Amino acid sequence: MKRYTFVIIILISSLSLCAKDIKKIHDSLAQVVSNPNLPIEKKVDAAKNLLQTTWADDPNFLHYIKLCDSLSLAIEDQELKAFVNLNYGQYFNYIDQYDSAREYLSKAYEYYSKTGNHRFLAASCGEMGNSYCFNGDYRQCLDWFLRALDHIYKVGDTPWIAVNLNNIGNVYYYLSDTDRAMEYYQQAYKLFKIKNHSQGIALTTNNIGVIFKDRGLLDSAYKYFSMAIDHAKKSNYLEQLSETYDHLSTVALELGKIDSALSYIEESIKIAKLTGNKSQLADAFSIKAEILGHKQRYSIAQQYLDSAYNLAKTIGAQEIIKNIFYTKFVLDTLQHNYQSAIQNYIHYTKLKDSLTGEKIRKDIANLESVYQLKLAEKENRLLKAKQEKQQLIIERHRIIFASIAFVVLLIIVFFVILWKQYKRIRKYNLELESKNKEITQKNIILNQQKEEIHSQKEEIERQHKELVYSQKKIQESINYAHRIQSTLLPSTNIFRLYFREAFVLFIPQEVVSGDFYWAEDTGNKFYFAVGDCTGHGVPGAFISMMVLTMLKEIVKTHPDYTAAQILSQMRDNIKKTFAASDNSRLFTDGADVALAIMETRTFEVNFAGAYRPFYLFRQGNLTVIKGDRQPLGSYLKEKPFTDHFIKLEKGDVIYLFTDGYHDQIAATSLRKFMINHFKKILEQIQHLDMNKQKQVLEDTFYQWKQDAPQIDDVTVLGLKL
């Protein structure tokens, strides 16, 4: 199912020569291209034939492209250059360098758009769609596949039409719309069968088998997988053969035939290594890891899973990475590592949502609607032209008939009267018969609709039960994450070791929070902090737990670090963590933190902040110590954090807080609370005892918010010396 067909293969699908004969042909064509004594026209024709008959898995493919590219530059042939760019795009897709592929394909598409060559426009669009599909960008993927289909319909090439129908089916499969996927696969299969195209039959029967497997119809799945194996072997379609063995192994695993499953996946791995297909090999390693897990060989299973992850990450195959997280979840569950299993399942669902989220589904639905509208407009134009032609014929016939009728009118007037009477009676009978048929047809339709409504009702009830069950499982996972986060947050009592009074106002937006507060007593130093991590809910909570873990580890291993040094070390750790997992989020994930270190004997405080300030009230006067305007994470204008030192006195009141309180929107005015308003509240309450202060802040927050949704997590830490 993971295969998006490289449409260039259709150009050479009619070749039936053996590999040895093809190599001779290629060598001969290459000699013609590089011969300086031959006419330019002959060399150009040889270059086009060489590129047209060579496939990406040929070890000399890149050499041939460069040879033809040199010729195109030497003679300044734009058409040959465009064909070279198309083949470069195909090659970089094959070696999983999709950005490079799109760069060359864009140039090819631009040239063929000017010439109106629909065959090569379809090839450029198809390869461009492949590059986005391999990256998991299904909206762009479907857009290019629909363009390819539009161009190839104009050419009328049946195998190419089938290839694009299959590719569109793949997009819908990854979006979990298996009904739409099945429609496109069956259309493609019928076209390939008409042409007796073995590679295409292997491709589409494999995909149809996957849908039957997903629906639990294992006998039907096995039937189609067997057909795919036969046709893949017949056409030496090794990559498809490897993929189908993958699916056979998963069917055997579901039936409890673990040894058979292991045998099938070994065949898949052997072929994937032979073809050098990294994405196929990563997928096969992941499946083998799950099989070994069921055989309780967890150590070897983990090794295969690590290899699969490294391969998938290298080629940017997000769909495979998503499946790897699910396999990790299965292995952790088999080993009763439930905490790790929950984390891997959350990674799986998060990546799945990013690939097939609601916005992507709507964009894709809009794309197809626009495409269907264009087809309808084209059909309407053709129908209108046909109707106009028919109307012209009718008008001519009417003139001829009127002339004849005028000549013979006096002779047949009596017979005309009788004929009109006959026509009235006949028309009445026909209308009566038509009405009877219409009533009968409506009764049939009503009965069918009644049956469909009953069937839909049963399906809705089933889906409702599944939705309730899924919601229950998700809520259980979130509640478990809340319990984990709660154990990491300190008790308010730890602040009272060195401060006369203390309060923590902690209001998460959801069950779990991206905000955190923290304290650590080492005897001669007392560390305390408040932080705001990127996001809220489950994603924010995971980042906050990661940041807390880093903070504790740095304090433990570097007790002599100042507050600024601790923040700098945390920034480096966060950048390394997210750079290793997802380069696209380097400038989005991180944290804003206010960190203070108090000497317990002298009450001197060392403060440093990442976007968060330190508020100090002394004898009723407010002093604001601002943090640096940079987060704990990647930032374009990074600089060292600044240490501030303050000598505390008895009666001083300190506040550390996140931006959730003063960013809250009011229900009535839709205005933010604002930082100046927050300062005024603190000035009014700083002399009260801490429990009263917390109550005033909490009441003020909810009075301001009322029925408006909470937009962020809220944390305020108050300390009185």
SS3 246: helix
Query: Is residue 361 a contact partner of residue 142, using CB atoms and an 8 Å limit?
Result: no
Residue 408: the pLDDT is 60
Q: What percent of the chain has pLDDT over 90?
A: 35
Q: What is the pLDDT of residues 575-587, one digit of tens each?
A: 988 776 555 444 4
Query: Is residue 208 a contact partner of residue 223, using CB atoms and an 8 Å limit?
Result: no
Q: Is the pLDDT of residue 486 over 80?
A: no
Q: Is the pLDDT of residue 60 over 70?
A: yes
Decide which of 396 and 505 is more confident.
505
Q: What is the pLDDT of residues 631-678, one digit of tens each?
A: 998 888 899 999 999 999 999 999 999 999 999 999 888 899 999 999
Alpha-carbon distance of 244 to 234, in angstroms, equals 14
Q: Report the first-to-last Cα separation within the chain, whole angstroms.
A: 66
Range of lowest pLDDT (310-314, 402-406, 488-492, 695-699):
402-406
User: Using 50, 70 and 90 to split pLDDT, how confident is the model at 414?
Assistant: low
Alpha-carbon distance of 296 to 308, in angstroms, equals 19
Alpha-carbon distance of 11 to 55, in angstroms, equals 10
Q: What is the pLDDT of residues 665-677, one digit of tens each?
A: 998 888 999 999 9
User: Angle, to 10 degrees, between the axis of helix 318-334 and the axis of helix 298-315?
Assistant: 160
User: Using 50, 70 and 90 to split pLDDT, how confident is the model at 447?
Assistant: confident
Buried-state track 660-669, b at ≥16 Cβ within 10 A, e below 16? bbbebbeeee
Write down all domains in the chain, each with its CATH number in brackets.
Answer: 1-155 (1.25.40.10), 490-720 (3.60.40.10)
pLDDT (mean) for 72-99:
88
DSSP output for 393-406:
HHHHHHHHHHHHHH
Q: Is the pLDDT of residue 399 over 80?
A: no
Range of lowest pLDDT (91-95, 495-499, 610-614, 714-718):
91-95
Residue 657, φ and ψ in degrees, nearest 5: -160, 160
* Cβ-based neighbours of 410, under 8 Å, separated by 6 or more: none
Alpha-carbon distance of 639 to 348, in angstroms, equals 36
Residue 223: the pLDDT is 92
Q: What is the pLDDT of residues 532-574, one digit of tens each?
A: 998 666 777 888 898 999 999 999 999 999 999 999 999 999 9
Residue 584: the pLDDT is 46
Tokens found for residue 113: 């758009």
Residue 173: the pLDDT is 87
Decide which of 357 and 292 is more confident.
292
User: Using 50, 70 and 90 to split pLDDT, how confident is the model at 385?
Assistant: low
Residue 17: the pLDDT is 47
* Cβ-based neighbours of 152, under 8 Å, separated by 6 or more: 118, 119, 122, 160, 161, 164
Q: Residue 521 pairs with which residues in a beta bridge?
A: 526
Side chain identity, residue 112: Y
Alpha-carbon distance of 618 to 444, in angstroms, equals 86
Q: Is the pLDDT of residue 699 over 80?
A: yes
Alpha-carbon distance of 180 to 200, in angstroms, equals 19
Alpha-carbon distance of 12 to 80, in angstroms, equals 18
